[in-house]
Structure 1
Amino acid sequence: MFADPDAQLALRMCWQNASVSTEQDRVDVRGVVSFVVIAYLPTWLLTLPLWLTGEGLSWTWAPVVLLVMMFMPAVAALVVSKWISPSAKPLRSIGLTNPGGIKKWWPHILVAWLGPPLAMVLALLVGYLLGIYKADWTGFSGLTEQFGTGVIGAEPQTSPGMLALIQIAQVFGLGWLQVIPALGEELGWRGYLVQALLPLGQPGAFLTTGVLWGLWHGPVLILGFNYPTVPIVVAFMMMMCFCILVGTLLGWLRLATGSVWPAAIAHGFLNAAAGLTIVFSQAGYAVDNASVGLLGWTGWIVLALLILVLMLLGKLPVRFHVEQSGIARGVNRRSRR
């Protein structure tokens, strides 16, 4: 019990004020605008060869261009945190390091590792139940058709089941190789931008970051990246919707752990899990990202349900423990910005 009435009032205010920023009360406009400019311009310039060659995403060096693009948000975050809006601890401010180190967030590794592939399978199941995704869950005929394996004439080839097992093992194993490129994006979008926009509240931060993240893909979306079967305007809208939904889940990992690493791991395995749409597909039916998998609208149902579950469990918005100064010093305030 507090004998001092002022201390009691301070304690009540600490718990009631759930919208106050833990680090700042206003968005650092200069830092955010600088981040967006630095993240966008080099990325978009990198795509020029895709246009100038006339080959687009089929250009031989296109995978290299896409890989380098992924590191531009990290460059922007580091530049802003180090020089434009300097932080006393720039690496900590963008989540590359955190108080307590890996001990604080290692339990989330399992969620980040297994969550995206399992979510992808659920998305495919939803698409299958709705009649959108034509699946061959046990015969893997679509995978056989894609890779030209199976039994051709009298020559024994890798069986469809073994090929599927190899592909699934690669998702859960070699997916770790996707984490470093994914870290390039996550340091920017979740590491810096979500944190910088928290004065808008967590919903506002996730929404704004998702829109900017989606638009950042603009030059390659125009070339048919992810959504080649729909009009360009629709592709932009779909990419933003996807980025808002998946960005909310990645943002939850970032804020709940204080580190960007779990979000980077989840992002890496999200990319790795994209191949599962082919693994379970049925031969003779093309897979359309606009309607199938987590990129498609049927997958958004799964992403939205996951967000709802986090909200019902009280995990989202994320609660912060803040130590106050002055009369309320030492009191933990739980903020749901």
Structure 2
Amino acid sequence: MSVPLYFGEELGRQGYLLPRLLRHGRIRGLLIGGAIRGAWHVPMTALGGSHPGRPLLLGIPVAVVTAVLLGTVIAAVRLSTGAVWAAVAAHLSLNEFALPLTRHVSARVVDPLLAGPLSVTTWSASSLAVLGLWLAHRRRNAGSPVPTGPA
């Protein structure tokens, strides 16, 4: 039922916006896209969707940083496969499987700020994934001429 929602969001973000952001360079484009993803999720966070019961001054920055990191990984999936559907699958699997799994694995209610895919505890893994993507991109382009435009 939710596939059309994820498809619409990722078609706009990965199919339309990302190719235009790549004019600023791959890394900048991915990070700008992640920041836009973070801003997109601010209203949901402000309504208590990501970190219910937490102050907005804490929940919103956590949600934005998480969205930047996860959005960068999802965009890299799209670029690696060339398919918006791959980004849809990544987004769908995060929201429809990883989030509920956190609730089911724990014997008690967990604080989504501290545990689960939208928590600060995922920042290190997400950051490592983003770093790995950057290193892979650099390695792939090591033999090609140095671009004169922005990185």
Q: Where on the TM-score scale, by shorter chain, does this alignment land: which range? A: 0.7 to 0.9
Pairing 1:220–2:44 present: yes
Separation in 2, partners of 1:182, 1:227:
21
Counterpart mapping for 1:1-337 below 5 A: 178-273=2-97, 274-283=99-108, 286-312=109-135, 314=136, 316=137
Q: Which amino acid aligns with 2:100?
A: G
* Higher Cα radius of gyration: 1
How far off is 1:318 after superposition? 9.4
Query: In the alignment, is the contact (CA less than 8 A) between 2:42 and 2:64 conserved in 1?
Result: no
For residues 81-135 of structure 1, what are the alpha-carbon distances to aligned partners after superposition, in whole Å with 9 as ceiling and x for unaligned? xxxxxxxxxxxxxxxxxxxxxxxxxxxxxxxxxxxxxxxxxxxxxxxxxxxxxxx
Separation in 2, partners of 1:242, 1:250:
12
Question: Following superposition, which runs of at least 4 residues in structure 1 exceed 4 angstroms of deviation?
Answer: 317-320, 332-335
TM-score normalized with structure 2 length? 0.82
Separation in 2, partners of 1:209, 1:223:
23
Q: Which amino acid aligns with 2:73?
A: L
How far off is 1:268 after superposition? 0.8
Q: Report % sequence identity.
A: 34
Q: Which amino acid aligns with 1:261?
A: W
Q: Which amino acid aligns with 1:231?
A: P
Q: Which has the higher helix share?
A: 2
Query: In the alignment, is the contact (CA less than 8 A) between 1:245 and 1:304 conserved in 2?
Result: yes
Gaps of 5+ in 2: none
How far off is 1:208 after superposition? 1.5
* 1:306–1:296 Cα change, 3 Å: same
How many residue pairs align between the two structures?
A: 146
